[in-house]
Structure 1
Amino acid sequence: MLSNFNEQQPIRMATYSQDGLGLGHMRRTHSIVGRFLQDNADASVLTLSDSQLGQFFTPTPNHDYLKLPSIVKDGPGQWRASNLNMPFPVVSMLRQELISQTLLTFRPHILLVDHMPHGAMGELLPALTALREQNVGTKIVLGLRDILDAPAVVRSRWQVEGAYDAVEEFYDCVLIYGMQEVFDMAQAYDFSPSMARRLRYCGYVCAPQDTTPQSAANVQTLRSHFLADADADAKLVVAMAGGGADAYPLMSTLLDTLTTVQQQQPTVYVLITGPFMPAHQRQDLQQRAEGLRAQNLHLHVLTSMNDTYSYLQAADLVVAMAGYNTTVEILQTGRRAILVPRRGPSAEQRTRTRLFANRGWIDTLDPDDLSIDNLAMLVKRNLQLGTNVVAPTQPNLNGRQAAAQWLFALASTPTVAGHRHAADAQDAPVTFDEPQTEIIFAEENYGATEERIYELA
């Protein structure tokens, strides 16, 4: 009954994002979905995720959300149910069934999988296998942020978990939300030639900028509000750290720099802790802020904000942790920033800040060097340098647009019977702000492999 469901139908896309209590993966995927639907108004998108934050994202027409039972990762390969009082194997089986049945019924033209090629504990593999065996025609795409972890760690983990095999067997394309000249993922993580040919570097994925007069008014309103009682030449320093679960060391140290910084430059601090900072840590910051305000210093501690872009635009200097979304949003504004990466366990943030600092896009302080004196020195230095960064090269921030267009190109590509991967798409209407030299889709029989490269003007 459903055998011809995909023919002559508006595009259907499914996305899978295993995010636990985090914000980053869901925000990035939601941003790409928003651009995809902006470009393809009659398409439908179904997001499968266990993030408990899905309901907080602004609803988009033709985009719905299927909440999976939540699980949390306790360590390498160790998961548990975070809400249901049930053994993990039972919850895992429930998730597998929900994913498989949903995808086989929804029959998407394209499936975008975020970060984990096989899903949590391999839960995607039954669905991926069924989509191929039943010849649904779904193009399967993996989306990866710019840096996953230290090369040795990723190579070992992907080998043990079977991620390399999953990409080789099931995926038509891998979208990289970064720049190859900054971090060459295929080289760093030892991708096979077949995998490397499927990589598409999109640039960094940013939320859309609001350039309306109202946005400019919001920026001015924020500056007027926070600087109202400060000296006329006061500078505004905004600190943020994504969800904030591990942001206390940075926020606490920054708070303690205000007295020193104030001696050189009148300054107002706005600390945005994030919704996941433990309550007792947030209360400590708020109490200490009250003490500083009693000394006629200007300091505000907020839990969250609705308009990240306006806060960044309002700042003379940003101090932040180095998560993907926070970092690229800072780059988007061009504001000068000091980034303090997470100490671990992943090397992702340390790697990103080192590479970005080398290009002059940000300033950075290693977490092992985080101290009141060191951070105060950097804050004072950056306030003297001016508000905007001037660097010899600029980051490619068109990842949202590029990813959406690659997804459309794949979804619009007919599937050749008997082939596992996407077929000829040389006529796909893909255009980019930056020249794109080629689009590559692998055509592979189960017994033999052919690689075809199609040039795009």
Structure 2
Amino acid sequence: MPGHEPRLLIYSQDGLGLGHMRRTSLLAGEFLSTLPGSSALTISDSPLGRFFPTAPGHDYLKLPSIRKSGPGVWESVTLSSTFHDVLAMRSSIIATAVEAFDPHVLLVDHMPHGAMGELLPALRKIRRNPVKIILGLRDILDAPEVIKRTWVNEGAIAAVDEFYDEVIIYGSRDVLDVATEYEWPMPVAERLSYSGYVCAPTSQNRRPLPSRHTKRAEGDKLVLAMAGGGADAYPMFSSVLSAASHRSLRSGVRFLMVTGPFMPTADRLHLQSMARGLPVTLVKTVDESPAYMSAADLVIAMAGYNTTVELLKTGTPALLVPRNGPSAEQRTRAKLFAGRGWVNWLDPHELDQDRMAGAIVASLDAPNASLSGRPGPDLRGRQASVQRILDMLGERSPFAELQAVPT
């Protein structure tokens, strides 16, 4: 093992979203709090850099940003260089950082071989060292036929088989059996464990929420609409604004809309224009989004992993509007969670005023998820994932009772 303080290196190809960044930040923070004096370094390409608060001992290495514009098609976000040149630069930076940081654990988020195979040189190099290589995956990736095809064709399955010691699934097998659903071969399936869903710890030092965002008359209900990064959330928000003027919602309901940092400026300005004269407050971002979820009577959100599990933790009634493609991930999550009575959901093809207004009214009248009497989700994924990492290193931890559940 390396002769220095415990070190965790995280690779995350985050693109233009917030989900992967949020999840990896939570896991790094848990690792650092469990092993005081340790270090965590995240290699990511998010244009926002340190968007979320970070723990002492955690730092970021920013890669030139790229994005996927189609199946197997990538492009540079900012640099004018060719994608080939940008990819070569990213791969070199990653390999150099892996060698220099000399981690005890490499935790790879979502893409086992990296974007277009950029992680493979680093994996080949680090595999010669006494280091544990772990793949962390949310449970729902895409439609099974898509994952079965792309993970074989792009070399992802081969990379897991060759390089990885373990695959931690940030979810529950009883919600979705990853190995069965995606038909992974036995050598890969045998490395899976399930941690439960990863969500943030409850803050002990929450500041009062700004009254300008949450002000309402006595008896009024507050509907919070949010969408993570917000890059493709305009259809959902415009539908909510249309519903806000519906006869069934003209009184007794106020709306707070958090558009997200990645919503195009033109879309945000148009939503602001639509909101004039309505009981709507529209903001770009908020601190402590779980606190706003808890304060609301209903949360309307897209069905991204992090937003959804944070909602489940609060128990606030939720209406999910999954992304309308190209991936089936959000639609699948919304349907599976709704089938367990955890949320309500609305098909993204049914966002006309009447359907949205009807869904809001029905969801406001729905019982709190925590009071429904149905079995709730396992939300201990943050602790259990880090416990599993420490178990592989032979380290002791105060979370010994939160073992990941093997397949």
TM-score, normalised to structure 1, is 0.84
Alignment identity in percent?
Answer: 48
Q: Which residue of 2 aligns with 1:243?
A: 229
Structure 1 residue 34: deviation in Å?
Answer: 0.4
Give the alignment partner of residue 376 of structure 2, picking from 375, 388, 394: 394
Give the alignment partner of residue 149 of structure 1, picking from 137, 142, 154: 142
User: What amino acid does structure 1 have at the position aligned with 2:303?
Assistant: A
Structure 1 residue 57: deviation in Å?
Answer: 2.7
Distance between the aligned counterparts of 1:150 and 1:263, measured in 2?
36
Give the 3 Å change call, closer, same or farther, for CA 377–267 of structure 1 in structure 2: same
Note if 1:185 corresponds to 2:166: no
User: What amino acid does structure 1 have at the position aligned with 2:201?
Assistant: P
Structure 1 residue 192: deviation in Å?
Answer: 1.5
Give the alignment partner of residue 36 of structure 2, picking from 3, 28, 41: 41
Give the alignment partner of residue 278 of structure 1, picking from 241, 252, 264: 264
Q: Which residue of 2 aligns with 1:329?
A: 310
Q: Which residue of 1 aligns with 2:51?
A: 56
After superposition, give the CA deviation of every residue in 1:115-144 in whole Å (9 maximum; x if it has no partner).
Answer: 000001101111111122xx3111100010
After superposition, give the CA deviation of every residue in 1:123-167 in whole Å (9 maximum; x if it has no partner).
Answer: 1111111122xx311110001012000000000000100111100
Higher Rg: 1
Note if 1:90 corresponds to 2:90: no
Give the 3 Å change call, closer, same or farther, for CA 104–236 of structure 1 in structure 2: same
User: What amino acid does structure 2 have at the position aligned with 1:317?
Assistant: L
Structure 1 residue 268: deviation in Å?
Answer: 0.4
Structure 2: gaps (5+ residues): none
TM-score, normalised to structure 2, is 0.94
Structure 1 residue 245: deviation in Å?
Answer: 0.9
Structure 1: gaps (5+ residues): 1-5, 293-297, 414-427, 441-457
After superposition, give the CA deviation of every residue in 1:203-235 in whole Å (9 maximum; x if it has no partner).
Answer: 11101211x3x53x625x64x86334x3x2110
Give the alignment partner of residue 282 of structure 2, picking from 301, 305, 316: 301
Instruction: Name whichever of 111-120 and 94-103 sits farther off.
Output: 94-103
After superposition, give the CA deviation of every residue in 1:317-366 in whole Å (9 maximum; x if it has no partner).
Answer: 11111011110110010000100101100000000010000000000011
Structure 1 residue 314: deviation in Å?
Answer: 0.8
Distance between the aligned counterparts of 1:436 and 1:19, measured in 2?
25
Q: Please say if residues 236 and 267 of structure 1, whose CA atoms lie closer than 8 Å, have aligned partners that are also in contact.
A: yes
Note if 1:166 corresponds to 2:159: yes
SS in 2 for 1:353: helix
SS in 1 for 2:81: coil
Note if 1:196 corresponds to 2:189: yes
Distance between the aligned counterparts of 1:436 and 1:47, measured in 2?
23
Q: Please say if residues 256 and 280 of structure 2, whose CA atoms lie closer than 8 Å, have aligned partners that are also in contact.
A: yes
Give the 3 Å change call, closer, same or farther, for CA 245–435 of structure 1 in structure 2: closer
Structure 1 residues 43-442: aligned runs within 5 Å: 43-132=38-127, 135-210=128-203, 212=204, 214-215=205-206, 218=208, 222=211, 226-228=214-216, 230=217, 232-260=218-246, 262=248, 266-292=252-278, 298-389=279-370, 390-412=372-394, 431=399
User: What amino acid does structure 2 have at the position aligned with 1:346?
Assistant: S
Distance between the aligned counterparts of 1:225 and 1:93, measured in 2?
46
Q: Please say if residues 10 and 106 of structure 2, whose CA atoms lie closer than 8 Å, have aligned partners that are also in contact.
A: yes
SS in 2 for 1:252: helix
Q: Please say if residues 388 and 404 of structure 2, whose CA atoms lie closer than 8 Å, have aligned partners that are also in contact.
A: no
SS in 2 for 1:368: coil
Distance between the aligned counterparts of 1:399 and 1:261, measured in 2?
42
Distance between the aligned counterparts of 1:201 and 1:240, measured in 2?
28
Distance between the aligned counterparts of 2:247 and 2:198, measured in 1?
34
CA RMSD of aligned residues (A): 2.0
User: What amino acid does structure 1 have at the position aligned with 2:71?
Assistant: P
Give the 3 Å change call, closer, same or farther, for CA 14–312 of structure 1 in structure 2: same
SS in 2 for 1:344: coil
